[in-house]
Structure 1
Amino acid sequence: MAFNPLTPLAVGLGRATRVAMRLRGGGSAMPGHVARTLDPNFLGRAVERLPRGVVFVTGSNGKSTTTAYVTSVLRGHGLRVFTNGSGGNMPQGIVSAMLGDVDWQGHLNADIAVLEVDEAICRLIAPALKPRVGVLLNVQVDHLNRFYDPARVANYLLDFAKMCGEAVVLNADDTNLRRIAPEMVVDRAWFGIDSEVAARVSSGLPSYKAPGVEIDEIPASERTAQVVDLVGQTATIEFHGEVARVELPARGMHYAIDAAAALTAGYRLLGEEFSLEAGARALSTMDTVYGRGEIMMVEGQEIEIILMKNPPSLRMNLDALEKKPDVLMFAMDEGSPDPSWMYGIDLSKLGGVDITTGTKAAQVATFFGYQHLPVGKVIPNNAEAIRAFLALPAPEEGRKLIIANYEQTIALRRIMGQSGIEGKHNS
């Protein structure tokens, strides 16, 4: 790509904007917007010299976790990996993450880039980034205000898959991905979960199945990696006849499936260099991903925070709870434009809620009320809610729990004095 004399200015002003945004408390998109305005080819320029190219991770749920997992597996094999650990998965967010790791000519200093990419955007930026491999996780009910129909997302992913240079890594238990797979023109590698293990999830795996569509299952013999057991946070994964045990950073069947996806992607990217032992060890030593079952100490109290994005996300996290929370706060705001989907969620495992907060605190309390579950206080103001939450007696066993949508997760963590998401994986 021809040198752009404005690229050094784009890098400098982008970095300055990044510092300014961090000082004011966040904002991952603006620095990328500034840089791309000065250099519209910033994305392609950043990755053009990477020896091992680019990987996209996309789908309805699990993108951030799987991106972190794939990154860990590759680093466990000695590679220098760039990733957009800030969670900004739109073009401007990806560029913002890159600004801290590019030289003045705009080139990333890494062997490979593992990028979380929004499922609607992946097909639009693939021509610039030229991904070698795409990891397609699932097609689930999510962002109906944006996507209207999960089938539309499946078509986006099909368009993207056709642009991958070498291969796609696919969830064998997702009906929509199995449906579109025959139209993909690159090699396919499958990951998944044993059907008997999947049956332990009380609400079932949340794969959206198009009405009237019957698709043959992918047999175990054609799956590169498959979850064959999960006890607590220890997942057993069968990999080409070998067995690996992975200590997951958080509880839940969805995290085990994401680990199988990461091992499959690592194998497809590294070939004969791949070591199952090294991959499993890398996954077992990971910290929790931002907001996904994080445990934090606040004023001497242990607090766990669980991010819920949509119906499948909340269902899987509820299934993973070992018991009814002793102290619970539930937070939701305008980041969930239409929260009525919660009417379809069985909240009985929570037993009730002590505090609801965020601009939609009253609506959340209504959902609990309709299921005849007790509601403590409705406190829309986050700072006031945190003070009340910390003042509640600590449980005799376990820890206090917060369930929040993405925007509230960021806001509540900030109030509790926790570090921001920016730079978590590349600093």
Structure 2
Amino acid sequence: MIGLWIGKCVLWLMQRFGRRATSLPGKMALRISPRLFARLARQLNFCAVVTGTNGKTTTTAMLSRMFAAGEPVIHNAEGANMQQGILTALLRAASWTGRLRVRTAVFEVDEATLPVVAPYLPIRVAVVTNLFRDQLDRYGELDTTVRKVTEGLARTAASLVLNGDDPLVRHVGLSLGTHHVVYFGMHRGHLHPLEREVMRDGAFCLRCGHPLRYDGFFYGQLGQYACTHCDFVQPHPTFCGQYEPGRLHVHQEGLPGMSFPLPTRGLFNAYNALAAVAAARVSGLSAGQIERGLQSFVPPLGRMQPFATTPVSVLNLIKNPAGCDSVLAAIAAEPGDKGFCILINDLAADGRDVSWLWDADFEWLPDRIQPAFCVAGGLRAEDMAVRLKYAGLPAAAIVPVPGIEPAIDAALDRAAARGVSLYVLATYTALYPAARHLTRRADTTSGTASWDAGRKNDETHPDSPPVSRSPESVRG
């Protein structure tokens, strides 16, 4: 009980002083009462989890809104997806005597955390969005991530909702033959050919080691694939999605088609919505509940999020090559001329290793988007500027400005002078400071996106000091 009380006291104090309180209450409670997580988790009647590299926060938010259309739900809404963050969400729903007031939960779970929490949560449905290289200094090789996800799912009796367009996720499904597995995927009309050689994960079959043959790609290694040696092939999806701006059409095997509002932009967000719809249907939710959930959905911070600055700015999270590529593809599809501000930090939550910048396809910028300028900011502003130089952007278009607020200010000034929209791309610890500053710069008469500028960062989202540590320069 002491751990419970300490955790709830920390939660109350942090909320009282305007902190976001996403992880620290759970961390303190676990330190004092290691069994508290199991004690609270076993009171749940139903739990759905979402894991994977990209799209966890958005998919979980959509799925929780679908459940909330019919009943109250516990949800780690701000993406604190390790054990202490999940426990904090449980603490919010617990009384001072340790009794949960809500018995249904939808949790985002970090891939490496899944094996830790899976034995304690009554997981009935588990979603895997995709598997990409992410934070090599933390996760190591991609094989490690695949193994951890497989181990975590093996410790549940859940129905698995898996992205069949991802050969790595398909391998996870084949490794868990005793589970009920359903696949979701996009209609092949969204495939595009390989136009140039880019770094892709999942180029080889994890069953026999031979190369995979692709007949087209959606993004990253997601596509229509088959092994050149064994019988490993893309599965037929139980839930097939067709995306158009503002709508997602879902064809569930054996049932009439469904159409839902899509309150986010980009093919990668359509994948997130498709995953949530599939999980909701497997959980027994009606099409009406799903539609009401999507209608009430507010995109998480930094997912093609507009701000009413002058000119208009759009904020996006980037954290690994595949996610960055999908964001660039979505921006390329947006109308009008564009300017960019790319904010790269290398704090613990971002991953210390920024070599992923060289695997991301920033060649999209000169080849497809042709931005009026690109301001590089954050702790690794100079590294980003060097990457842009080698991507082929003209030197005159590359503007390194160390820091976050100075970089945004410089980018907004240039965008206003050139009459273009501004797209801000930020790594994790740069995202929240960027959102606050964009809110301050927004026109007060026009309003802003749904972001509370008064909230302070908690211990997991430290403000980034306006310093670039890289000795390299774009000059010369």
Q: TM-score scaled by structure 1?
A: 0.86
Return the match for 1:304 from 303, 306, 314.
Answer: 314
Q: Give the alignment of 1:66-105 within 5 angstroms.
A: 66-76=59-69, 78-105=70-97
Return the match for 1:367 from 372, 387, 412.
Answer: 387
Q: Distance in 2 between matches of 1:398 and 1:34?
A: 47
Report SS of the residue matched to 1:118.
coil
Q: Distance in 1 between matches of 2:48 and 2:37?
A: 14
Moved more, 357-366 or 26-35: 26-35
**C-alpha displacement of 1:206:** 6.2
Alignment match, 2:407: 385
Q: Distance in 1 between matches of 2:191 and 2:456?
A: 32
Tell me the amino acid that sits aligned with residue 308 of structure 1: I
**C-alpha displacement of 1:142:** 1.5
Q: Distance in 2 between matches of 1:201 and 1:36?
A: 48
Q: Distance in 1 between matches of 2:186 and 2:392?
A: 35
**C-alpha displacement of 1:79:** 1.9
**C-alpha displacement of 1:202:** 7.0
Q: Distance in 2 between matches of 1:250 and 1:421?
A: 26
> Is residue 292 from structure 1 mapped to residue 311 from structure 2 by the alignment?
no
Listed as ranges, the gaps of 5+ residues in structure 1 are: none
State how many pairs are aligned. 408
Report SS of the residue matched to 1:373.
coil
Query: Relative to structure 1, is the Cα distance of residues 354 and 403 closer, same or farther in structure 2, using a 3 angstrom cutoff?
Result: same
Superposed CA deviations along residues 213-270 of structure 1, whole A, max 9, x for unmatched, are: 53533543xx33111x222242222123322223322211111122121111112222
Asked whether the 8 Å contact 2:118–2:153 carries over to 1, the reply is no
Return the match for 1:210 from 194, 204, 207.
Answer: 204
Q: Give the alignment of 1:71-150 within 5 angstroms.
A: 71-76=64-69, 78-150=70-142
Listed as ranges, the gaps of 5+ residues in structure 2 are: 211-226, 440-450, 459-476
Moved more, 378-387 or 278-287: 278-287
Return the match for 1:326 from 338, 344, 348.
Answer: 338
Q: Distance in 2 between matches of 1:342 and 1:12?
A: 40
Return the match for 1:12 from 8, 11, 17.
Answer: 8
Q: Share of identical aligned residues, percent? A: 24
Q: Distance in 1 between matches of 2:10 and 2:146?
A: 34
Alignment match, 2:448: none
Asked whether the 8 Å contact 1:171–1:190 carries over to 2, the reply is yes
**C-alpha displacement of 1:359:** 0.7
**C-alpha displacement of 1:316:** 0.9
Return the match for 1:177 from 148, 169, 175.
Answer: 169
Alignment match, 2:261: 247
Asked whether the 8 Å contact 1:135–1:168 carries over to 2, the reply is yes
Superposed CA deviations along residues 69-113 of structure 1, whole A, max 9, x for unmatched, are: 11122223x121111011111111222333333211233322411
Asked whether the 8 Å contact 1:55–1:132 carries over to 2, the reply is yes
Tell me the amino acid that sits aligned with residue 11 of structure 2: R
Q: Distance in 2 between matches of 1:313 and 1:382?
A: 21
Which 4+ runs in 1 deviate beyond 6 A? Answer: 200-206, 395-398
Q: Distance in 1 between matches of 2:199 and 2:417?
A: 31
Superposed CA deviations along residues 340-362 of structure 1, whole A, max 9, x for unmatched, are: 22223223234244321101011
Q: Distance in 2 between matches of 1:138 and 1:290?
A: 20
RMSD of equivalent CA atoms: 2.8
Query: Relative to structure 1, is the Cα distance of residues 393 and 155 closer, same or farther in structure 2, using a 3 angstrom cutoff?
Result: closer
> Is residue 347 from structure 1 mapped to residue 364 from structure 2 by the alignment?
yes
Q: Distance in 2 between matches of 1:80 and 1:402?
A: 35
Asked whether the 8 Å contact 2:41–2:120 carries over to 1, the reply is no
Alignment match, 2:219: none
**C-alpha displacement of 1:409:** 0.7
Q: TM-score scaled by structure 2?
A: 0.78
**C-alpha displacement of 1:20:** 6.7
Tell me the amino acid that sits aligned with residue 347 of structure 1: W
Query: Relative to structure 1, is the Cα distance of residues 147 and 292 closer, same or farther in structure 2, using a 3 angstrom cutoff?
Result: same
**C-alpha displacement of 1:37:** 1.8
Tell me the amino acid that sits aligned with residue 40 of structure 2: A
Alignment match, 1:232: 245
Alignment match, 2:157: 165
Q: Distance in 1 between matches of 2:357 and 2:26?
A: 34
Tell me the amino acid that sits aligned with residue 181 of structure 1: G
Q: Distance in 2 between matches of 1:67 and 1:395?
A: 39
> Is residue 63 from structure 1 mapped to residue 76 from structure 2 by the alignment?
no
Return the match for 1:266 from 272, 276, 280.
Answer: 280
